[in-house]
Amino acid sequence: MKRRFNSTGVCVPRKHYMVDITDKLKEIRELIDNEFYFTINKPRQYGKTTTLNELEKLLNEEYLVISISFEGIGDSTFEEEKDFCNKFLKIMITSLRFSDKEESERLLGLSQNVNDFENTSEVITKFIEEASKEVVLFIDEVDKSSNNQLFLSFIGMLRNKYLLREMGKDFTFKSVILTGLYDVKSLKLKIRKEEETKYNSPWNIAVDFDVDMSFSPIEISTMLDEYSRENNIDMDIKAISEELYFFTGGYPYLVSRLCQIIDEKIKKDIKETWTKNDVRKAVKIINEEVNTLFESIVKNLENNSELYELIKNFLIDGEQIVFNALNPIISIGVTYGIFKKGKERLEISNKIFEDIIYSYMISKIRTSASNMSLYNIKSKFIKENGELNIERILKKFQQFMKEQYSAKDEEFIEHHGRLLFLAFIKPIINGTGFDFKEVQISEEKRLDVVITYNNFKYIIEMKIWRGPKYHEEGIKQLCDYLDIYALDNGYLLVFNFNKNKEYKEEKLEVNNKNIIAVYV
């Protein structure tokens, strides 16, 4: 059977090309060897289940591993304590059947006539006391039912047995690993007020899980090395790995999916050397896909208006947001995999998510923009040599704003002006251009849009007018930025909200750079 890249479900070495996560597994094993209980809480499709599967293989020789999942067990299981306890023991028995049939049958014998958590605790004690090896418990998708009172009671039972074991008064699992989207220690659990004290911190025994589950460029290269050797394809593995990391931030699903797209779509008919340009083509393809991960991001934005507004403030409007993990909105964004802690400020976790969010916000603003399609017809802005006519684009946008938005829309424009321009230019560059945003922090809240189109590069700076002093400083900063990209021409789109504002254009020459400024 020919191996392939996998982006759905658990990855299996005999079927799929996989990143070597040996070092991560060693870190996790050290926690288990030290008898810690902990939660692996990572975003959707972050390789949690695959990691547990590989970890189980690593541990099986020394430990008796019971690996179960709460996914798909049904809500009715959580209605009665007896039903929950029997279901929990049953799925443990089923798990053991595939690794140690004798122990599975022994647990089955101990599990008769269980009616409550007290009976369940006694079964666990007896089973582990006579087990042939120390027992480790994995529970995947644990937050599927984490808003249920019975779940809290279950976690409380495990916690109590752990504390008794530490005092030499009980036998229980050597280590318990819970995996899911949320950190069970800090869940806002939906419990009755009269139960809040009793179940305030059911998992406060757990240690922090600090293992980096994202893929580094070096780790990505291990998967590419497998692929290149098996298919006899020579490629610059280091360069491709770094390019994949540049766009994905090491997000496991995105890394695997890009590789899958290159192999099965871009290089489908001819197996040849991969290039960095192939990675960029794959990024354009994935950005147009509809998948459960991207749908989840959009759903989370729509369900949390504060999260949506925070992202817009720094992604579109260029505001500086200091990263603070205690901020509940930032915390939930990290949980969903949208945010990360940057070197100086809050950042979107990877460039693909950034483009998905940016494109989604653009699509929403386009539905509210009056007659925009009459102004941004693509063919009118392409020169004969394939260049974009950025000056004409800016002037046409100016005309659009002047004719379609009056003074009564001032509040809307100030809030959505930058997004309107991004929505205006997106159809023009789609299919050929690739654009990305680089936020520049300053008192003017500048947002630089860097566009690559047919091997031509353009920098358009958007900013709100804050007076001549800041304007001059902004132009100098733009010139410095043009130097970095070795460009001679730059563009300014200035939003002026003064009542006596003038729709005008300026052509400036500053530090041997040609600057075209258009005011709206």
Name 118's bridge partners: none
Residue 139, φ and ψ in degrees, nearest 5: -125, 110
Give the pLDDT mean for 172-186. Answer: 86
pTM for this prediction: 0.86
Name 453's bridge partners: 433, 456
pLDDT of the residue at 192: 45
| Most confident among 218-227, 261-270, 488-497 (mean pLDDT) | 218-227
Q: What angle do CA 111, 113, 118 make, to 5 degrees?
A: 75
Instruction: Quickly tell me which residue has 């179940």 as its tokens.
Output: 199
State how far the Cα of 63 lies from the Cα of 28, in Å rounded to an integer.
Answer: 14
Q: What percent of the chain has pLDDT over 70?
A: 91
Q: Do the Cβ atoms of 176 and 139 come closer than 8 Å?
A: yes
State how far the Cα of 518 lies from the Cα of 504, in Å rounded to an integer.
Answer: 6
State how far the Cα of 396 lies from the Cα of 496, in Å rounded to an integer.
Answer: 17
pLDDT of the residue at 452: 85
Give the pLDDT confidence of 125-141 residue by residue, as tens digits: 999 999 999 999 999 98
- For 300, how many CA atoms within 13 A lie in the half-sphere containing its CB? 25
Whole-number average pLDDT of the chain = 88
CB atoms near residue 515 (< 10 Å): 19
Give the pLDDT confidence of 393-404 residue by residue, as tens digits: 999 999 998 888
Closest by Cα among 63, 61, 66, 9 to 31:
63
Query: Could you tell me the pLDDT band of residue 218, with boundaries at 50, 70 and 90?
Result: very high
The residue count for the chain:
520
Give the pLDDT confidence of 6-44 residue by residue, as tens digits: 999 899 999 999 999 999 999 999 999 999 999 999 999
Give the pLDDT confidence of 353-404 residue by residue, as tens digits: 998 998 899 888 877 777 888 899 998 999 989 899 999 999 999 999 888 8
Give the pLDDT confidence of 415-453 residue by residue, as tens digits: 778 888 988 998 898 867 666 666 554 444 456 788 888
Q: In what order do the strands lie in the sheet with 433-440?
A: 433-440, 446-453, 456-464, 489-495, 513-519, 505-510
Q: Tell me the helices (H) and strands (E) count for the chain, helix number first.
A: 17, 12
Amino acid making up residue 243: E
pLDDT of the residue at 131: 96
pLDDT of the residue at 435: 67
State how far the Cα of 256 lies from the Cα of 386, in Å rounded to an integer.
Answer: 33
Residue 54, φ and ψ in degrees, nearest 5: -70, -35
Q: Which long-range contacts (CB under 8 A, 24 or more apart) does 188-192 make?
A: 189/146, 189/147, 189/152, 190/147, 190/148, 191/149, 191/152, 192/149
Q: Do the Cβ atoms of 514 and 483 come closer than 8 Å?
A: no
Q: Do the Cβ atoms of 281 and 384 come closer than 8 Å?
A: no
pLDDT of the residue at 409: 67
Max intra-chain CA distance, the chain: 87
Work out whether the CA dihedral 465, 467, 468, 470 comes out positive or negative.
negative
If DSSP codes are grouped into helix, strand and coil, which group holds residue 191? coil
State how far the Cα of 177 lies from the Cα of 67, in Å rounded to an integer.
Answer: 9
Instruction: Quickly tell me which residue has 């806002």 as its tokens.
Output: 188
Closest by Cα among 509, 496, 493 to 467:
496
Q: Give the residue extent of every domain in the chain.
A: 22-195, 217-286, 370-520
Task: Read off the DSSP letter of residue 16.
Answer: B
Q: Which CATH class is domain 22-195?
A: alpha beta
If DSSP codes are grouped into helix, strand and coil, which group holds residue 210? coil
State how far the Cα of 105 lies from the Cα of 220, in Å rounded to an integer.
Answer: 42
